[in-house]
Structure formats: C-alpha cells, structure tokens
A and B are shown apart, each in its own frame.
Chain A
Amino acid sequence: MSADRRDWLEEVGELERRREMVAQMGGPEGVVRQHSQGKLTVRERLELLADPGSFREFMGLMGHGAYEAHELVKLTPKAAVDGFCRIDGRKVVVTGGDFTVRGGSGGSSHGGLGMELSASRRAYEWHVPYIRLLDAAGGSVRTFEELGRTYLPDGNSFTAPEVHLLRIVPVVSAVLGSVAGLPAVDACISHFNVMVKGTSQLFPGGPPVVKAALGYDVTKEELGGFEMHTTQSGVIDNLADSEEEALGMVRRFLSYLPSNVWEVAPRQETEDPPSRREEHLVSLIPRDRRRAYDGHKIINAVVDTGSFFEIAPRYGRARVTGLARMNGYPVGVMANNPMFGASTDVAAGEKVMRLVQLCDTFHLPIISFADEPGFMVGLESEKKGIERAGARMLITTVDSQMPWATIVVGQLYGVAGQCHHRPSGMFQRYAWPSANWGSMHIEGGVFAAYRREIEAAPDPEAKRAEIEGRLKALASPFRTAEATGQDIVDPRDTRPLLCEFVEEAQPILRAQLGPTAVPYRP
C-alpha cells in the first residue's frame, strides 16, 4: 500500500468555503431586512469598531450545517460573531449579536463537553476588555418545540463569568437593535453603555408581553426607546445618532481605561500645557447666588482641551460626570450643575456612585468640582428614597481608595456636601474664594435653631434678619481657613494644581493595582 502523499489543500478549500458561507450571515434576505431597518450587519459593525484588519474571529465555523449525501450544502452560522480585535492598538474581545440569524436569538449550547471557551470567558482569562454589540431578542418559546421540553431559566450559569468580568476588565455594551430578556439586562452588566436614537430599544419583555401581562398597548419606542432609557430610567448612559457614533463612543470610553485592573490607564500626548491658567475661571461663579451657571464650563476649562467625555449627559443632570485627561493622564471628573438645580437627587447620586466605583476599579484619580446645595428635598425626592440612596452614595465614597481631589467652587452643604470629602487615602481639597459651606444653609437653619429668640422678639422678622446677618458675617471661607488650614486658591491656578495632584497620584495608583475589595455594582 503506497503512502498518501497528497497535501491538505483540498481541506483548506473546504475551510474557505465554510468561511464564505458563514460570512453570508443569515442570508441575503436577512441582510436586506437588517439594512431596511436602518441597522448595520454585525460584520459591518465590527469593521467600524475594530482597528482596520485587526478582527480575528473565534468559533467562526460554528453553526448549523445542512448536508446532502455527506456534502455540505448550507452552513447557517450561530447567531453571534465573536472574536478578538484591537482598539487603538489594544486587544479586546467583542461579541456581536447577529439579528439576521434567528433574530439573534439563543440556541447556543455553551458549557457542553468539548465546547470552545465563550467570548466572556476569553475576556476573563486574557484580561482584556469585553464589548457586547447587542442586537438580539433573548429567549424564544420556539426553543421549547425544538427541544421537546421547557427548561429551567439557568442563564446565570453562563452569565456568572460576565458578572466577574466587571471586577477585572472594562465591559461595554452597545444596544444596536430591539433587545429583550437577558441581552437587555446584559446591557447594564457593564461599566458603560450606549444606544442609538430610533433603532434601538430595550425591555425585559416587549409590547406583546406587556399586552399579555398588563392589557395595554404601547409602542417599542415608548416602552424602551431612548427617551425612556437615557432621560427617565437612566438604564442607558449615552445616546448616539448613528451606529457609527455609538461605536465611536465605545472606542472613546475605552481610551481612558487600562485593559484590566492590573495595569495603569494609558497616558496620551497632549498639547495643552499643565501650567495653563484659565483667566475666565475667576469670574465664572456669579456673585449673585441666585444666578446659575453651567457646570460643564468649569470642567472644560480645567481638563486637557477637548478631553472631556461625558457619561449619561441626559440623566440626573444636577451632576455632570465623565472621563477626561489632565496632562495626558486619564481621570474621572464630576461637577454639580446649577443649571439643573445642582442638588444631588437619586438620579445624580447614581451617576456619582458609578463614576466613583469606575475610578476605584480601574485606578483613575477623581476630580470633583463641588457646588452642592445638599440632597434634593421635597415629596418627589422622598418617594424615590433619597435617604437610602444618600446612604449608598456616602458608603461608596468612604469605601473608595483612589486619589481624590475636590475643589469647592461654590456651596457645600449638608450630607451631600459631606460626600465631596473622604477622610482616608490620598485626598486633597481646595476651595475657591467663592466657596461657602456649613452643615446646613443659614437661611433655612436660622428659624429652626433660634425659634424661641425670634418668636419672643417684638419684631420677629427683624430679629430673624439680624441673626441671619450675624451668622453670614461668619461664613467667609477665610474664617474657616484661619481655624482649619483649609487651602483657598486663585481659581485661575486650578489646572496647574490639579495637574500636579494627578502626577503625584500616579505612584499611589500603581500601588493600588489589582481588584478592589469592594466590587463594582452597575
């Protein structure tokens, strides 16, 4: 018997043929339908997301083969495209739902003997960021017929690694279609998420499920569109006008973070000198305390020019939160926004907690520009549970460890004011001359504290005004500085001082590398 000396080119041809079939996704009709809905296909999305030519697919031959006489005639790929790619040269894992295949719906059999590692497990083991491009409907009752039975909803078996990912690598979700069930919840098992105006919605169950359960009609857009989720519920951080813009935001968000918690965040070159003194900061805070200003203006004047990336700009607008750079070093940054009342309400507090945890997890210093009138008061605030929310914000603040700098630019009152301070770790506080503070506002507090004296006076109103005037004379920040050593600075020196702080924070951040004791909770 002579040895078979043929090479393997025939099989390589088979490999190529299978790859071509998989590249067709759910077939031409599905692709046309995807485009007609104003959406890109998963492979087009990957081209926009990845550095050119860097996408390396894994599990790319997986799917359902149809055979005639042992000859493959059709290969329908699994309803997701998974792989490694690079973003700004750094490796990430991406999993993209393919709506053209069964509406992106499940049918996966992860966990069986011999199965290759899932995308999330690879991100976990490789210590690289994990990106979900969500365009999938979640579970389908059709599966029951295919299986001939129902099944226990044990999705946590394969979601658990995704939960653990939050502690070690950046996780980002882009919602790029109507997503329901687990994919809708996956959107929030993230450090950042984004949706596209008009083409993406999310809900645990869509309009037909709402109709069956609650008996009313509602559109997908009303139920889970961008108005609901980027302004009312806060489920989604950012809104993009197009998929291209959404994927650009994913890239930008990642640019501020290290690939994992054992690395320091990448520094970028900047043209903006750390010594830059911004003249208009000295007039930015109105002397008339009733006059509001836009908190974004302080942030944009202080951080490296053009480096501020805002997170959740449409939700909880009493606080501006985001990422930026100081002399090239990534930082978290936040500011009260008097344009929207500045008082921390439940929504603004959620943003604060998420930013603080993000910075703590990925070892970025945080900078807080405080003009805090206090926690939001009133019936609406009580209904939302402001005290419990406040307790969580306070705990998150105290539990954090990363270097923290607060600049008190205006008011600092009450327990919400207290949350701009951390009594441990590398903490630096500066005050502008426009600052004023106290455990509570003088105006509101005078009657409560001096009630008997005021009521007993022949002219109670004059007495109240007299006491108020007396207390206000004590409110100069310089009086506090005399007693406590609080540093008051020229607002124009803010950037140089903070650039120095961020530079000095670097060795501390390096010493804190690794997972934090308190896990990230989105």
Chain B
Amino acid sequence: MPEDPGKVVHSLLSGTVCDILVSPGSVISVGDEVIVVEAMKMEIPVEATAAGTVAEVLVTIGQRIAEGDRLLVLQ
C-alpha cells in the first residue's frame, strides 16, 4: 500500500547523517529542521515536509543516506 506522504519525511539529498534534532514524541511543523546531513563538506539541514508528532526516527548518526530515503515517520 502506498505510504501517506503526509506522514513520512524524506531526504532531499544524499550524504551522511551528522545530527538528529528530533526524537519520538517531538512535535514538529512544516519547515522545522529535523535532521542535518553532511554532504560536500557542508552541513545541510533537512526540513520537515509534513507536520505532526514524530513516531519513529529511521536513521542514525553516521549513516549514509540517499535522496528520497525515509528519515522520519509521523503519527
């Protein structure tokens, strides 16, 4: 079944996760910085594309991620 796009935050770029700014239970709004990805020697904040309460964080610090990977699931 296709995922509800309003409930998942995807990565817009490839890189290495260098910081996670939310945890399960965090309440986020659209545009909040949720995860920081390092790519090309830059730290690039990933912003929430949906609002809600974080149910699950799917990545860990140091993990390599690709564009489009799922980062967070919201309740």
Contacts and interface: CB of A to CB of B under 8 A. Distances in A.
A338 B12 CA distance: 13
Contacts of A290: 41-43
Contacts, number: 23
A339 interface: yes
Interface residues of B, number: 10
B13 interface: yes
A395 to B, nearest CB: 27
Contacts of B39: 341
A294 B44 CA distance: 9
Nearest to A340: B13
A231 to B, nearest CB: 10
Nearest to A292: B44
B1 interface: no
A291 interface: yes
A396 B39 CA distance: 31
Interface in B44-73: 44-45, 47
Contacts of B41: 290
Contacts of B30: none
A339 B13 CA distance: 8
A292 B35 CA distance: 12
**Residue among B39, B41, B42, B45 with most chain A CB within 10 A:** B42
Contacts of A339: 12-13, 44
B43 A291 contact: yes
Given A339-B12, A340-B13, A291 B40 contact: no
B11 to A, nearest CB: 11
Contact of A341 (B42, B45, B47): B42
Interface string A282-301: 00000010111110000000
A424 B47 CA distance: 40
Contacts of A341: 39-40, 42
B16 to A, nearest CB: 13
B17 to A, nearest CB: 14
A341 B45 CA distance: 13
A83 B9 CA distance: 46
Interface in A83-100: none
Contacts of B45: 291-293
A324 B51 CA distance: 28
A292 B12 CA distance: 13
Nearest to A294: B47
Contacts of A294: 47
A290 B43 CA distance: 6
B30 to A, nearest CB: 13
Interface in A314-356: 338-341, 343
A288 B43 CA distance: 9
A313 to B, nearest CB: 11
Contacts of B47: 294
A426 to B, nearest CB: 34
Nearest to A341: B40
Given A290-B42, A340-B13, A343-B40, 10 more contacts: A288-B43, A290-B41, A290-B43, A291-B42, A291-B45, A292-B44, A294-B47, A338-B42, A339-B12, A341-B39
Interface of B: 12-13, 39-45, 47
23 contacts: A288-B43, A290-B41, A290-B42, A290-B43, A291-B42, A291-B43, A291-B45, A292-B42, A292-B43, A292-B44, A292-B45, A293-B45, A294-B47, A338-B42, A338-B44, A339-B12, A339-B13, A339-B44, A340-B13, A341-B39, A341-B40, A341-B42, A343-B40
Interface of A: 288, 290-294, 338-341, 343
